[in-house]
Amino acid sequence: MRSSISGASSSPQSPVEAPPSVPGLALGLYQNAVVRFLFVGGLSFALDLGLLALLHEVFGVELWLATPIAFVVSLVFNFLLQRMFTFRATNKGSVSAVKYILLVIVNIAVSDLVVTGFDALGWSYLIGKACATVMTTVWNYFLYRHWIFKRDAGE
């Protein structure tokens, strides 16, 4: 019988790996940029919707004013978390902000075209909104990662 100083098993067979623990799984998800991107996006949506309801329903702010206020707050929240948490960007924040605003404008225009296009064809505008959201979410991830929140070379 062999003795093991390192505490490793003396069995010639390799041990069966245990399934990942919840903390291990959470760490794995945390380390995945796509998961962080979707998580931050979900939080941003919840903030937008919650703030809209709070402003309009609780504080009586007119809908025409409450909607853009909630949207802008959620955009700032999204920008900051995507930059710092999701992509850990090291490029200039002002450059990222300008690119982010340009992309937001394009996303709004594309979403409007898709939603109104679906409606013009007699299809559900809600399905159009869902399609536009999926489209913009996919390209946003890649544009955020490789253009807006690009990490400086050597990092």
Report if residue 17 sits inside a domain: no
Q: Can you tell me the distance from the alpha carbon of 31 to that of 20, in angstroms, rounded to the nearest whole number?
A: 15
Report if residue 14 sits inside a domain: no
Nearest to 138 by CA among 13, 43, 34, 53: 34
Average pLDDT over residues 81-106: 95
Answer whether residue 131 shows pLDDT above 70.
Answer: yes
Report if residue 55 sits inside a domain: yes
Answer whether residue 6 shows pLDDT above 60.
Answer: no
How many structural domains does the chain have? Answer: 1
Mean per-residue pLDDT of the chain: 87
Answer whether residue 16 shows pLDDT above 80.
Answer: no
The reported pLDDT for the residue numbered 22 is 62
Report if residue 127 sits inside a domain: yes
Report if residue 67 sits inside a domain: yes
Report if residue 74 sits inside a domain: yes
Whats the size of the chain, residue-wise? 155
The reported pLDDT for the residue numbered 25 is 66
Q: What is the extent of the structural domain holding 130?
A: 22-148
Biggest CA pair distance of the chain:
81
The reported pLDDT for the residue numbered 4 is 46
Report if residue 153 sits inside a domain: no
The reported pLDDT for the residue numbered 21 is 66
Report if residue 2 sits inside a domain: no
- Specify the higher pLDDT residue, 6 or 19: 19
The reported pLDDT for the residue numbered 150 is 85
Helices and strands in the chain, H and E counts: 5, 0
Query: In the chain, what percentage of residues exceed pLDDT 90?
Result: 75
DSSP letter assigned to residue 5: S
Average pLDDT over residues 60-88: 95
